[in-house]
């Protein structure tokens, strides 16, 4: 009885903001930790039916333990060829369609100076952050059209302003372009597409220890002449935003608002620094961003 009353209360509350959560279904990728994990719990608490895709069994178990019985998890690697996750939502009660798709799964490494990279370093990141987003979206479009639903793609401020080499910035620029074309293509079918552009937040994707360890891996395989040109002290640190709920609140708004925005910038650094910087002439943005990056030992002033 208490559960039923809580569910009714959730429905009435959602009507007050112009959106009925009851029987709405949302599919989220990358729910092991970070944005995806928090968003899944957040939407579950609002009364939505969440299907959360996790990469690991531990991630799925942790999320299941932290959510209601309404939330469902499944194991999914978005890079798997011939991914058939779309079939998960076809049987009842999902046959009415899919209200929301959140493409959140991502990876950052390998990331670093372009000269340190090999082609496979680029493809490792692009396969998850861009090709994975495209493939998941294509799988779910029929269900999204049926429900006239929402697509929420997680890009980054680095999809506006490239700071370093590797596939991360490339992939996020690609997510921006894919989302823009998808939004225009799907507008006649009633599907709304939103882009989330977080600043620098502390998540598993941005863990400094993992990034630094991978940079060290790239460093050790470089030819000695390249190492000499950069110098041993090239590595540097960054600062991160700890409050990831700033991002998930944007995601929730994109899924539940009557009039969702096309783009959401999350974090003070994104709103006040990185995105405004991206609109300035390249010579200005290059000068400013170079102030935040380590300089090679054998730099040349041109």
Point out the residues that are catalytic: 168
Structure tokens at 14: 């959602």
Closest CA to 128 of 112, 148, 156, 108: 108
CA 75, CA 276: separation in Å to the nearest integer? 38
CA 261, CA 250: separation in Å to the nearest integer? 9
CB 123 within 8 A of CB 173: no
Could you say which DSSP state residue 188 is in?
G
CB 34 within 8 A of CB 248: no
Pairing of β 165-166 and β 111-112: antiparallel
CA 259, CA 253: separation in Å to the nearest integer? 9
């Amino acid at each position: 009885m208490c559960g039923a009353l809580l569910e009714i209360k959730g429905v009435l509350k959602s009507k007050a903001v112009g959106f009925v959560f009851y029987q709405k279904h949302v599919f989220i990728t990358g729910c092991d930790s970070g944005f995806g994990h928090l968003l899944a719990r957040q939407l579950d608490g609002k009364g939505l039916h969440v299907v959360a895709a996790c990469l690991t069994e531990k991630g799925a178990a942790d999320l299941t333990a932290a959510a209601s019985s309404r939330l469902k998890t499944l194991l999914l690697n978005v890079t798997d060829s011939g991914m058939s996750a779309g079939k998960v939502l076809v049987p009842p009660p999902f046959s009415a369609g899919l209200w929301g798709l959140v493409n959140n799964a991502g990876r950052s490494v390998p990331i670093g100076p372009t000269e340190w990279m090999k082609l496979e370093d680029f493809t490792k990141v692009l396969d998850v952050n861009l090709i994975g987003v495209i493939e998941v979206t294509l799988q779910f479009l029929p269900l999204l059209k049926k429900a006239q639903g929402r697509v929420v793609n997680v890009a980054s401020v680095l999809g506006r302003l490239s700071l370093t080499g590797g596939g991360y910035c490339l992939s996020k620029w690609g997510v921006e372009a894919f989302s823009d074309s998808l939004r225009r293509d799907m507008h006649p079918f009633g599907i709304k597409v939103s882009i989330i552009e977080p600043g620098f937040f502390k998540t598993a994707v941005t863990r400094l220890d993992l990034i630094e360890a991978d940079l060290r891996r790239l460093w050790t395989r470089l030819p000695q002449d390249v190492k000499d040109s950069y110098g041993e002290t090239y590595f540097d640190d960054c600062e991160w935003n700890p409050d990831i709920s700033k991002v998930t609140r944007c995601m929730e708004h994109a899924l539940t608002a009557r009039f969702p925005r096309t783009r959401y910038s999350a974090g003070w650094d994104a709103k006040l620094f990185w995105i405004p910087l991206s609109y300035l002439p390249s010579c200005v943005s290059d000068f400013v961003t170079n102030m935040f990056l380590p300089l090679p030992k054998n730099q040349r002033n041109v």
